[in-house]
């Protein structure tokens, strides 16, 4: 691993809240100063490292301290304790419109903002057209930004922030304001920055984006780090914890675990022709193929597949044990097919988890979470709502003696 790009060490940030302003002076004096000022720790002893060239996500509920931490990284706020060291040039897109002057035009703000972010005027002049084009604001660039929509603000802010050519880019949730086309452009920029060894710290509520963009993620909870790990793991845990009303058979989410005697090497989705695909149609044949390898003999191993939606709802979870197809003992390599003559999932995106477990299904030899993602396209039957077609048939019967038929 390369040197960390950002090191956050024991950072705590306190805000002082001044209450009861309209209290009488007498009461205030009697109570003393301390009663009037409330201390609030927005960050408590936060530590982690962000590897250089990685995309790092910050997630957590509202008020958990994500923006505060980002501002500390950008040196806009100073923590009470601890330190943050950042290697290289930092550029940030924080709150909506931060760094913009409403009365000035888009053009003037580009220069103002660029200067604040440390880009020399000459450089700005050279990059100006590119900045405006990326934001898609050619027609509006000479209007005062107070007339801009929030999406236009964000596009311009982001465009300036990335064109500063930072070593470290800090981005708060604001990007969610942009439209889909712009989001895609941003994702391409992230990929481009990453491929050039730059570091990105992204605050987001969109778990799919975090999952797709970030390598590692820190989960903040009431100002403290609850978890720092690979993006998938943290997102899974977070989604699981946020949806407390949903029990996901007690499994803890994550990438891969198990004792390792047997492993699922790869998983394929095959269409009716036996071709490996990533999308299938409702109502068509499909096969999930698990290529396995047993490194040592295992008695009565059970293969299991679960299909879940992106938000973690388990749609189905067939096992070879339920199908009464458990071999007495397995060793070596092969594959197991789970074939659906008609795949009845309705259009959407789904994840496949697979496992090899002992006969009690309590001990996993290998458990692979979200090993394969696939899309279901509209087919037959066509139904507009729900996750699966259950094959229900409609029939209508009229009461006898009713004359009117419409």
Ligand X SMILES: Nc1ncnc2c1ncn2[C@@H]1O[C@H](COP(=O)(O)OP(=O)(O)O)[C@@H](O)[C@H]1O
Binding positions for ligand X, rule: CB under 6 A: 15, 17, 40, 42, 60, 62-68
CB 345 within 8 A of CB 295: no
Residue 294 CB partners (closer than 8 Å, separation 6+)? 261, 262, 301, 330, 331, 332, 333
**Shortest separation between residue 226's beta carbon and ligand X, angstroms:** 12
Name the residue number minimizing CB distance to Mg ion: 67
Which contacts qualify for 294-298: CB closer than 8 Å, 24 or more apart?
294/261, 294/262, 294/330, 294/331, 294/332, 294/333, 295/260, 295/261, 295/262, 295/263, 296/261, 296/331, 297/329, 297/330, 297/331, 298/261, 298/262, 298/329, 298/330, 298/331, 298/356, 298/358, 298/365
Q: Which does 406 bind (CB under 5 to 8 A by kind): Mg ion, ligand X, none?
A: none
CA dist 328 and 2 (Å) reads: 48
Query: Closest Cα partner for 89 from 196, 187, 184?
Result: 196
CB-nearer residue toward ligand X: 19 or 34: 19
**Shortest separation between residue 72's beta carbon and Mg ion, angstroms:** 13
**Shortest separation between residue 10's beta carbon and ligand X, angstroms:** 18
Q: Which does 65 bind (CB under 5 to 8 A by kind): ligand X, Mg ion, none?
A: ligand X
CA dist 306 and 318 (Å) reads: 7
**Omega of the bond prior to 381 within 30 degrees of 0, cis?**
yes
Strands 348-357 and 364-377: antiparallel
CB-nearer residue toward ligand X: 64 or 308: 64
Query: Closest Cα partner for 67 from 95, 37, 41, 98?
Result: 95
CB-nearer residue toward ligand X: 15 or 359: 15
CB-nearer residue toward Mg ion: 37 or 176: 176
**Shortest separation between residue 64's beta carbon and ligand X, angstroms:** 4
**Shortest separation between residue 84's beta carbon and Mg ion, angstroms:** 17
Residue 109: exposure state from Cβ atoms within 10 A (0-12, 13-18, ≥19):
buried
Host H or E run for residue 31: helix 25-31
CB-nearer residue toward ligand X: 106 or 157: 157
Q: Which does 283 bind (CB under 5 to 8 A by kind): ligand X, Mg ion, none?
A: none
Q: How far is C-alpha 229 from the geometric centre of its chain's CA atoms? A: 13
Q: How far is C-alpha 294 from the geometric centre of its chain's CA atoms? A: 34
Q: Give the x-and-dash track for 37-76 against Mg ion (CB under 5 A).
A: ------------------------------x---------
**Shortest separation between residue 40's beta carbon and ligand X, angstroms:** 6
CA dist 74 and 173 (Å) reads: 15
Residue 309: exposure state from Cβ atoms within 10 A (0-12, 13-18, ≥19):
middle
**Shortest separation between residue 215's beta carbon and ligand X, angstroms:** 21
Q: Which residues pair with 16 in a beta bridge?
A: 39
CB-nearer residue toward Mg ion: 67 or 306: 67
CB-nearer residue toward ligand X: 53 or 60: 60
CB-nearer residue toward ligand X: 92 or 371: 92
**Shortest separation between residue 275's beta carbon and ligand X, angstroms:** 45
CB-nearer residue toward ligand X: 17 or 181: 17
**Shortest separation between residue 95's beta carbon and Mg ion, angstroms:** 8
CA dist 367 and 263 (Å) reads: 8
**Shortest separation between residue 183's beta carbon and ligand X, angstroms:** 20
Q: Which does 15 bind (CB under 5 to 8 A by kind): Mg ion, ligand X, none?
A: ligand X
Q: Which does 68 bind (CB under 5 to 8 A by kind): Mg ion, ligand X, none?
A: ligand X
CB 81 within 8 A of CB 11: yes
What is the per-residue DSSP string for 229-250? EEHHHHHHHHHHHH-TT---TT
CB-nearer residue toward Mg ion: 60 or 301: 60
Give contact residues for Mg ion (rule: CB under 5 A). Answer: 67
């Amino acid at each position: 691993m390369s040197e960390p790009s950002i090191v956050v060490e024991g950072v705590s940030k306190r805000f002082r809240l001044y209450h009861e302003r309209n209290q009488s002076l007498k009461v205030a004096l009697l109570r003393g100063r301390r009663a009037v000022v409330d201390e609030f720790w927005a960050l408590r002893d936060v530590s982690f490292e962000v590897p250089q060239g990685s995309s790092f996500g910050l997630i957590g509920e509202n008020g958990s301290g994500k923006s505060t931490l980002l501002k500390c990284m950008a040196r806009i706020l100073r923590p009470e304790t601890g330190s943050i060291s950042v290697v290289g040039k930092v550029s940030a897109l924080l709150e909506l419109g931060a760094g913009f002057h409403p009365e000035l035009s888009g053009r003037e703000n580009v220069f103002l903002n660029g200067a604040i972010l440390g880009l020399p005027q000459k450089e700005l002049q050279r990059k100006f057209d590119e900045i405006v084009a990326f934001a898609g604001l050619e027609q509006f660039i000479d209007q005062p930004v107070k007339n801009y929509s929030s999406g236009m603000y964000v596009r311009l802010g982001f465009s300036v922030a990335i064109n500063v050519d930072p070593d470290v880019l800090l981005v708060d949730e604001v990007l969610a304001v942009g439209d889909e086309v712009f989001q895609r452009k941003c994702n391409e920029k992230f990929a481009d920055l990453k491929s050039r060894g730059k570091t990105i710290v992204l605050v987001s509520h969109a778990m799919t984006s975090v999952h797709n963009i970030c390598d590692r993620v820190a989960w903040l909870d009431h100002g403290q780090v609850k978890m720092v790990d690979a993006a998938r793991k943290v997102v899974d845990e977070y989604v699981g914890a946020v949806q407390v009303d949903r029990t996901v058979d007690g499994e803890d989410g994550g990438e891969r675990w198990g004792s390792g005697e047997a492993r699922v090497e790869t998983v394929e989705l095959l269409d009716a022709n036996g071709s490996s695909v990533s999308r299938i149609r409702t109502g068509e044949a499909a096969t999930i193929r698990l290529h396995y390898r047993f490194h040592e003999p295992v008695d009565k191993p059970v293969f299991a597949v679960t299909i879940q939606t992106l938000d973690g709802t388990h749609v189905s979870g067939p096992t070879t044990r339920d199908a009464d197809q458990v071999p007495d003992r397995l060793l070596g390599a092969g594959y197991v097919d789970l074939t659906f003559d008609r795949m009845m999932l309705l259009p959407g995106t789904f994840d496949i988890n697979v496992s090899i477990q002992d006969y009690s299904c309590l001990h996993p030899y290998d458990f692979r979470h979200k090993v394969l993602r696939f899309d279901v396209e509209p087919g037959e039957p066509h139904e507009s709502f729900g996750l699966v077609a259950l094959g229900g048939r409609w029939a209508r019967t009229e009461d006898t003696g009713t004359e009117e038929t419409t």
